[in-house]
Structure 1
């Protein structure tokens, strides 16, 4: 064999040997592993807000096994709090990357009845969207703002959604803005921008511009090529005074009006006798060619109600459910979105957000509990608000088996950690230093073996204890110190 042929053969063998890795990277988004998002779905996660006021307008999680019966997660408390912009959020949407290794939540930056009314929000609202990012659905970044409406002279930015668009190799974010209208004045229209990271976005452009005299606020797209009708994507919108369904074969291409849901008994206020709804959110039923379209009964304050169909393009086929067919948990469910969960995703979500709410009682302080006050760790009696002394005992952030971390109930994502050996309540920044500082090893109580003491994970010669009612991590040697470092976990 000549040297030339030998080089050709070796090159071909090298290419063939690399093919499995290349294919794995294509399937897994470049990780070399199978993408989690390709695994079968086993449950559902609803992301939503619950009502007015600063506490209601935050991010809430709710779980379902069958897509119709739902249970509040995190004890019905918010799972994420907005600390930016108006410090309130509505209309959240959750997005998964194609490779299943990244998630984002985007939401309206709006807090009605906490410093802003509807007139302000319509005519001089926030031009920003609020964004959180995660790699596991459990540990989320701090919220950040992205301005999408200033460049289009928008007076607000409402009800954002996002979908991966393979044609542009980017995510398409779309939302409603009250912006200048062709017929004069302003009205709510749907605009879009593209992004690859939910940090920087392209120029904003018109997406769904309703006819003269009509407005559109809420719209959501689902990719469903298996549905009869011949379209790859379906779009539900509160267009004018009806809930309109459209079909299309590309996210940024043309759309065909397939009709509205009046015959199914739903309207946006345009048809007498029908249920008045907004905030459409689609979810395919796991393992079936069947879809639920959830609609928010905002006019009556009834929360979401589902309509089921096996043909998204046939607007007469959407079947309205009786109230006995579904349940939504304790909290009111307002405009949000649903993501189908893989078994791995579902396991993580349930482990993190189904953890019970506990308190840590100091054994040597009558009625004293560990609490946070002005983000400092303390021991106190008669804690008010009570949530300041409530924690979820999570698996240790450091990942070491048996270790635990204490997450605040009323400041989700914030954990007790030691800083210069004093204990503070801080947001998890994802750093290895934070994970170590916020992790503790439970051991038999130093002054009472029926109780528990907590050894610092990264300073194992120190324990969580109170001194003059302030929480610290200190070396322990005396009987007093052993008592100060002993706690009971109570409900």
Structure 2
């Protein structure tokens, strides 16, 4: 009896240890308190506002917080003026970053039918050297060289050490071999401004389309392949290879854990810091449920993936749509969190025309009543670009654009990262010249000048009269 009890105890202990191990894998934890976190770049939905660039941050990879108060951080001003499916690419030495996105704006002048059969052949690209100050966007024509290529969707890119450049890949709808469908094409690039002639990269048999695919590099000693890719092609199909452009081997799919391509799409990889655990985020598009993670200790084995319980992860206040997750360095994390805190947006109300507010209109700046859209008059008061104890005014609906004086006239202008721009867009908030309970804004680089309106246009002027003091006084409202 005692021997049986001992065997039962040993068996129970083994089961408990096994379950504990599974629980650890199923709920990845942050490796250490000092580890930096993760940055997700994504869009949020249809319409001209939802189809822009948004950022979220996580300390553990499963609980996400919206940056910038849940507002967009970059807005496309080129092509269709909307973007989806952004990829965030870091150069191997960390000196450059690119965001590459689909040029597509559904429900803002373009339908799904239009975008499938006669969509943009371009991708939208931004570039940065610090992850926080971004260039103006440009269009990169990737599908124009594909005979009868009808669109360019869901771009991704990966550094290829064998060729010392990037493999850029995306989906294009094109007739080929008697079948019109989306296939994955690729081209090489070193700067995301020019590309080689596109080639077919992934094609499924018959009429089966493939649109979303993303590749992860796996360290030596984990699984059977150096690279694993997950694709949305009717299933979430996993494949492995030892070379990005080499032969890929089918590994299986995630139907064994109840996830098929009719339920989820937009696979998005990440690796948990300091662990041998990976997350694969999948967009529950069929139920409009947004992203959910599955985790694994071996990306190349479908049986190793585990779904996460709904309460074990939190995606933040905005819906996350197909994007990219970057493991941050400590320096990158500090920059990102400092650049996009959840600063509330407000308006600047005129003191002597209290039904009027500062607003931008075709990049000119004036005071108007009854502003539509209201976001044309909403700004975030950021720490001054040029000095401590100062403020700069960043547009809500054109993030990265600030109120800036030029020849004493005001414009809404894109921050080009220069010291000249920073000085022109920086002000000291002081007691209102006409009413100390309000505010006036003194120029950083012309300290005897203030922001004021004149004939409803915003100017930078010296103020010497009672009228001028009224014109230069504002209230920051919510």
TM-score range, shorter chain: 0.7 to 0.9
- What's the C-alpha RMSD, in Å, of the aligned pairs? 1.9
Q: CA deviation at 1:243?
A: 0.7
Gaps of 5+ in 2: 1-33
Distance in 2 (CA, whole Å) between partners of 1:119 and 1:389 is 35
Distance in 2 (CA, whole Å) between partners of 1:358 and 1:344 is 30
What secondary structure is seen at the aligned counterpart in 1 of 2:286? coil
Please name the residue that 1:286 is paired with. 273
Matches for 1:39-438 after TM superposition, within 5 Å:
42-153=36-147, 154-182=149-177, 184-225=178-219, 228-239=222-233, 241-269=234-262, 276-354=263-341, 355-397=343-385, 399-438=386-425
Distance in 2 (CA, whole Å) between partners of 1:358 and 1:343 is 31
What secondary structure is seen at the aligned counterpart in 1 of 2:336? helix
Structure 1 contact 226–289 (Cα < 8 Å) conserved: no
Q: TM (normalized to structure 2)? A: 0.88
What secondary structure is seen at the aligned counterpart in 2 of 1:247? strand
Distance in 2 (CA, whole Å) between partners of 1:320 and 1:373 is 48
Q: CA deviation at 1:41?
A: 5.2
**Corresponding pairs, count:** 443
Distance in 2 (CA, whole Å) between partners of 1:401 and 1:101 is 27
Q: CA deviation at 1:489?
A: 3.0
Deviations 1:157-177 (A, max 9, x none): 110001111111111110011
What secondary structure is seen at the aligned counterpart in 2 of 1:150? coil
Select between 168-177 and 448-457 the one with higher mean Cα deviation: 448-457
Distance in 2 (CA, whole Å) between partners of 1:179 and 1:225 is 36
What secondary structure is seen at the aligned counterpart in 2 of 1:267? coil
Q: CA deviation at 1:194?
A: 1.1
Distance in 2 (CA, whole Å) between partners of 1:75 and 1:350 is 12
Distance in 2 (CA, whole Å) between partners of 1:193 and 1:394 is 40
Distance in 2 (CA, whole Å) between partners of 1:365 and 1:41 is 51
Distance in 2 (CA, whole Å) between partners of 1:112 and 1:379 is 32
- Tell me, yes or no, if structure 1 residue 445 matches structure 2 residue 432: yes
Structure 1 contact 414–427 (Cα < 8 Å) conserved: yes
Q: CA deviation at 1:450?
A: 4.7
Deviations 1:224-254 (A, max 9, x none): 2156213222110113x11111122222222
Select between 190-199 and 223-232 the one with higher mean Cα deviation: 223-232
What secondary structure is seen at the aligned counterpart in 2 of 1:151? coil
Q: CA deviation at 1:362?
A: 3.3
Please name the residue that 1:478 is paired with. 465
Structure 1 contact 405–416 (Cα < 8 Å) conserved: yes
Select between 349-358 and 59-68 the one with higher mean Cα deviation: 349-358
Select between 114-123 and 290-299 the one with higher mean Cα deviation: 114-123
Deviations 1:375-394 (A, max 9, x none): 22223444433322211122
Structure 2 contact 179–206 (Cα < 8 Å) conserved: no
Deviations 1:437-483 (A, max 9, x none): 22223334334445432222222221111223321100122233233
